[in-house]
Structure 1
Amino acid sequence: MRKIITFLTIITLLVSCKEEVVNKPERLIEKDVMVDIMYDLSVLDAIKYQNPASLDTFKINSRDYIFKKYKIDSAQFAKSNVYYASDYNEYKIMFEQISKRLETNKKSVDSLVKLQKNKKNAIIKKRAKQAKIGRDTTKIE
């Protein structure tokens, strides 16, 4: 009898763990859109900390901008965020997607910066060469 009660208790606990910890909000933001929102917030926060004057110059509040862009409000975002955070594994997958996007974009930006730097160096070398040629011709005359 004791074994049966213990067994039923364990099964009950396992089954109850499958239930949602947080109830699904009425206006839940779709998972893909939530990933986009969190990505955009990450980029804006990075901009804010790398170059604070850039957002202040244009008087941009990153959260307000995101809420307008995705047509959501702060309560809807907060409830959706809590809902997704209640499932650790899914939330982790969402953050991995964001990290991959950030890394991909970082590589793209790095390659553009390198290309821009190479162009700038080529222009500087060209001007230096032209200046040297210009100086050489004035000495000959």
Structure 2
Amino acid sequence: MANMKRLFLIIIIISFFSCTSNTIYKKPQDLIPRDTIVSLLTDLYIAGASRDLKNSYFQAKVDYIPLIYNKYKIDSSRFKRSNFYYTTRLDEYQKLLEQVKRNLENYKKKYVDERRIKDSIRRDSIKKLAPKTTIEAPNKTYKKGSGDLLNKRPLQN
């Protein structure tokens, strides 16, 4: 029985160490530089988020990813190789994604600020166009609970 426990323990230890990966991948020849991959991933996240939104031509589910690849003059296979290389270096990739997140937050802040300014300008222009009329309150008062609303009579002084 003790031999079975030792054998079981040895098998567990061997399987534990065999599962860890110490593989270090070579840097691809056409690796996308870090600052470019940050911008590229930022644009890809925006494109992914906008996929279900309708554009100005009322088209939904437009795939903007090929346009982004054209913008950076790369193809999908080069992106996959570079992205795979960066993902094998988790610490570096984590920093890369934090930079992407900061970029997205900056874009959001910029958009919200621009939207606030446009809304403010629109509200001001509506106020300028609105007619300056006032509604005067009636000078007569009515008794409460005097019956039908249509048959109310003014109070006598």
* TM-score, length-scaled by structure 1: 0.70
Measured in 2, the distance between the counterparts of 1:52 and 1:67 equals: 21
What pairs up with 1:32-43 in 2 under 5 angstroms? 32-43=35-46
Structure 2 gap ranges (5+): 1-16, 134-157
| Structure number with higher relative contact order (C-alpha < 8 Å, ≥ 6 residues apart) | 1
Q: Which has the higher helix share?
A: 1
Partner Cα distance (1:105, 1:25) in 2: 31
Instruction: Note if contact 1:55-1:61 (Cα within 8 Å) is conserved in structure 2.
Output: no
Summarize deviations over 1:57-110 as a string: whole Å, max 9, x none: 499532211111111111111010000000111001011111111111211111
Tell me the equivalent position of 1:81.
Answer: 83
- 2:47 is matched with which residue? 44
For residue 35 of structure 1, report the CA deviation from its aligned partner.
Answer: 0.8
Taking the aligned partners of 1:69 and 1:100, their CA distance within structure 2 comes to 21
Structure 2 residue 31 is matched with structure 1 residue 28: yes
Q: Which residue of 1 aligns with 2:64?
A: 62
Runs of 4+ in 1 over 6 A off after TM superposition: none
Partner AA of 1:115 in structure 2: I
- Note if contact 2:51-2:63 (Cα within 8 Å) is conserved in structure 1: no
Residue 20 of structure 1, CA deviation: 5.8
TM-score (norm 2): 0.63
The one-letter amino acid paired with 1:23 is K
Kept in 2: contact 1:27–1:76 (CA 8 A): yes
Q: Could you say if the C-alpha distance between residues 67 and 55 of structure 1 is closer, same or farther in structure 2, counting changes exceeding 3 Å? A: farther
